[in-house]
């Protein structure tokens, strides 16, 4: 039986014979502005065309056989799919009760329990079997809990855990990797990403989708680490978003994968009397690359994350000039690397203070922008030093750029003087 949940307007155009359904209606009731809209329609093509006549935009027949049409208009995606069976039957096929909603004639309708779930802000499947109708749904559940700030009651957790075990035993049932990637991205982009990752682990989905990260669970570290490697990872994600709420997806992925190499590099060092993880940044960068490529993240994202992981253990020098050189060499990784390094320290014990010292030093060092190019061109350098084209010219340009970064050289004249000195003596007190 459909239940009337509320009388209210739907704030977007709705053609005749089409009913806004799912997440958009849910967002409306939760006081969020929906980005994308889904409509179930008696005749989806007709509804999509009529909407296009009214609003403009581009129409894409996604799957005309099955009646799937998409209209992209004003930065929004409107999807039209056929209503199969009655409205109630449609809702009964959906994933979670608070997603099984639709708007019709000035009112919102839902299934039994939806109203309570919305009020309590909890996620409960329409039926446990529905998780098995589309195997992405357990992962979606965790992602929705993180993005919408929903609780997962015992019953839901148990159902998700059972589904995770099913997936572990039936890897052939795993959803397409692109869909997994989209869920991970949405989860990480939420301010509650660390909470979502913890849930993933708790219900057993971490091991299903990210076996390389699951190896960190309970991996004791010692030293400055009061937390096992996975708990430390969660703390780093948490602190990254605390320091820098607008962090890029790459920075968030790097925080997630930064210590993934630790499971394979853990050795007890008798002299030091503790575990060490020599080479974990390099090993971790390779694991992160393989994992992200598997999930079909774009090449640029993968390379950036791998580099961030590889460089996260670099020790920034304290002295200002040296720090400017250090930053110049890692310019492409800024500011992500700075925040990752700071969050890494906030996730350990006894070195938290370093995070703030680092951020202050970075801020001070970057107050003056880093140079983007040498003050002299290759031709000018060749003429000045009497050099033929070749690697020497590149070295000279690089030395010049470093000198600019240090603030030793600010004008073309100083650049020429610097290069003449450099030819005779090498870079002044460079390491």
Ligand X SMILES: Nc1ccn([C@@H]2O[C@H](COP(=O)(O)OP(=O)(O)OP(=O)(O)O)[C@@H](O)[C@H]2O)c(=O)n1
If contact means CB under 5 to 8 A according to the sort of partner, which of ligand X, Mg ion, none does residue 50 touch? none
State the chain's maximal CA–CA distance in angstroms: 88
36 near Mg ion, judged by CB under 5 A? yes
Among 55, 136, 174, 249, contact with ligand X (rule: CB under 6 A): 136
The three-class DSSP label of residue 426 is coil
Could you say which residues in the range 388-427 bind ligand X, by CB under 6 A? none
Identify which of residues 88 and 303 has a Cβ nearer to ligand X in the complex. 88
Does 212 bind ligand X (CB under 6 A)? Our answer is no
70, 97, 137, 157: residue in contact with ligand X (rule CB under 6 A):
137
Closer to ligand X by Cβ: residue 104 or 329: 104
3-class DSSP state of 39 = strand
Site for ligand X (CB under 6 A): how many residues? Answer: 13
Using CB under 6 A, pick the residue from 45, 50, 128, 134 that binds ligand X.
134
Q: Got the DSSP string for 348-403?
A: SSS-HHHHHHHHHHHHHHTSSPPPSS-SS-HHHHHHHHTPPSSHHHHHHHHHHHHH
The SS3 assignment for 296 reads: coil
Helix (H, G, I), strand (E, B) or coil at 86: coil
Q: Which is nearer to ligand X, 48 or 263 (CB)?
A: 48
299 CB-side CA count, 13 A? 0
DSSP per-residue string spanning 210-253: -HHHHTTTT---BTTB-S-HHHHHHHHHHHHHHH-TT--HHHHH
Q: Is 380 a binder of ligand X (CB under 6 A)?
A: no
CB of 24 to ligand X, least distance (A): 6
CA distance between the termini of the chain: 76
Burial of 334 (0-12, 13-18, 19+ CB in 10 A): middle
Q: How many residues bind Mg ion (CB under 5 A)?
A: 2
Enter the DSSP assignment of 131. G
Site for Mg ion in 1-30 (CB under 5 A): 23
Site for Mg ion in 38-77 (CB under 5 A): none
* Residue whose CB is nearest to Mg ion in the complex, by number: 23
**By C-alpha distance, which of 79, 85, 84, 86 is closest to 21?**
79
- Bridge partners (DSSP) listed for residue 63: 68
Is 95 a residue that touches ligand X (CB under 6 A)? yes
Nearer residue to ligand X within complex by CB, 95 or 231: 95
CB closer to ligand X out of 191 and 407: 191
> Rounded to the nearest 10 degrees, how much is the dihedral formed by the CA atoms of 401, 403, 407, 411?
-70
Q: How far is the CB of 270 from Mg ion (least distance, A)?
A: 56
* 207 scored as a contact of Mg ion (CB under 5 A): no
Residues 23-42 that bind ligand X (CB under 6 A): 23, 36, 38
Q: Which does 252 bind (CB under 5 to 8 A by kind): Mg ion, ligand X, none?
A: none
Nearer to ligand X, 186 or 398 (CB): 186
Of 134 and 286, the one with the shorter C-beta distance to ligand X is 134
* Cα–Cα distance for residue pair 336/339, rounded to 1 Å: 5
CA distance 255 to 240: 8
Instruction: At 339, give phi and psi (nearest 5°).
Output: -70, -35
- Residue placing its CB nearer to ligand X in the complex, 100 or 208: 100
| Angle between helix 193-202 and helix 229-243 axes, rounded to 10 deg | 160
> Which residue, 44 or 374, is less far from ligand X as judged by CB?
44
Residue 20 belongs to what H/E stretch?
A: strand 18-21
204 touches Mg ion (CB under 5 A) = no
CA 237 to chain centroid: 10
User: Are the beta carbons of 122 and 150 closer than 8 angstroms?
Assistant: yes
Q: Which whole-number Å values give the CA distances from 51 to 8, 24, 81, in the listed order?
A: 21, 17, 14
Minimum CB distance to Mg ion smaller for 101 or for 193: 101
CB of 40 to Mg ion, least distance (A): 13
When CB distances to ligand X are compared, the closest residue is 23
**Out of 29, 71, 94, 163, the residue judged to bind ligand X by CB under 6 A:** 94
Q: Which of ligand X, Mg ion, none binds 201 (CB below 5-8 Å, type-dependent)?
A: none
Q: Segment 169-188, which members bind ligand X (CB under 6 A)?
A: 186
Interaction between residue 347 and ligand X (CB under 6 A): no
The reply on whether position 99 binds ligand X by CB under 6 A is yes
Peptide bond into 335 cis (omega under 30): yes
Give me the residues that bind Mg ion (CB under 5 A), please.
23, 36
Give me the residues that bind ligand X (CB under 6 A), please.
22-23, 36, 38, 94-95, 99-100, 134, 136-137, 140, 186
């Amino acid at each position: 039986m459909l239940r009337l949940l509320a009388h209210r307007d739907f704030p977007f155009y709705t053609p005749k014979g089409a009913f806004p359904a799912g997440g958009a209606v849910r967002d409306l009731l939760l006081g969020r502005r929906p980005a994308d809209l889904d409509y179930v329609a008696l005749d989806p093509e007709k509804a999509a065309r009529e909407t296009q006549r009214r609003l403009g935009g581009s129409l894409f027949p996604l799957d005309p056989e099955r009646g799937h049409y998409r209209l992209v208009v004003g930065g929004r995606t409107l999807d039209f799919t056929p209503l199969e069976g009655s409205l109630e039957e449609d809702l009964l096929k959906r994933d979670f009760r608070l997603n099984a909603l639709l708007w019709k004639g000035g009112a919102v309708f839902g299934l039994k329990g939806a109203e309570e779930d919305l009020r309590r802000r909890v996620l409960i499947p329409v039926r446990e079997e529905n998780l098995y109708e589309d195997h992405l749904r357990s992962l979606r559940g965790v992602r929705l809990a993180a993005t919408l700030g929903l609780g997962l009651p015992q019953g839901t957790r148990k159902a998700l855990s059972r589904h995770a075990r099913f997936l572990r035993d039936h890897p052939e049932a795993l959803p397409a990797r692109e869909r997994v990637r989209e869920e991970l991205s949405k989860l990480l982009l939420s301010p509650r990403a660390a909470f979502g990752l913890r849930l993933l682990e708790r219900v057993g989905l971490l091991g299903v989708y990210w076996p390389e990260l699951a190896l960190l669970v309970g991996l004791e570290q010692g030293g400055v680490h009061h937390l096992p490697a996975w708990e430390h990872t969660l703390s780093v994600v948490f602190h990254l978003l605390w320091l820098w709420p607008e962090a890029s997806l790459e920075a968030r992925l790097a925080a997630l994968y930064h210590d993934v190499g630790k499971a394979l590099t853990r050795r007890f060092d008798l002299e030091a009397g503790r575990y060490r993880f020599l080479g974990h940044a390099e090993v971790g960068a390779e694991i992160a690359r393989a994992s992200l490529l598997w999930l079909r993240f774009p090449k640029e994202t993968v390379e950036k994350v791998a580099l961030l992981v590889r460089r996260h253990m670099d020790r920034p020098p304290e002295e200002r000039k040296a720090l400017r050189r250090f930053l110049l060499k890692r310019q492409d990784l800024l500011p992500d690397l700075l925040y990752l390094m700071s969050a890494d320290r906030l996730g350990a014990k006894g070195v938290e203070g370093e995070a703030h010292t680092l951020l202050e030093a970075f801020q001070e060092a970057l107050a003056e922008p880093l140079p983007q190019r040498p003050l002299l061109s290759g031709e000018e350098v060749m003429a000045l030093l009497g050099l033929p084209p070749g690697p020497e010219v590149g070295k000279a340009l690089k030395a010049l750029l470093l000198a600019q970064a240090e603030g030793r050289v600010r004008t073309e004249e100083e650049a020429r003087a610097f290069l003449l000195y450099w030819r005779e003596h090498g870079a002044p007190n460079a390491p």
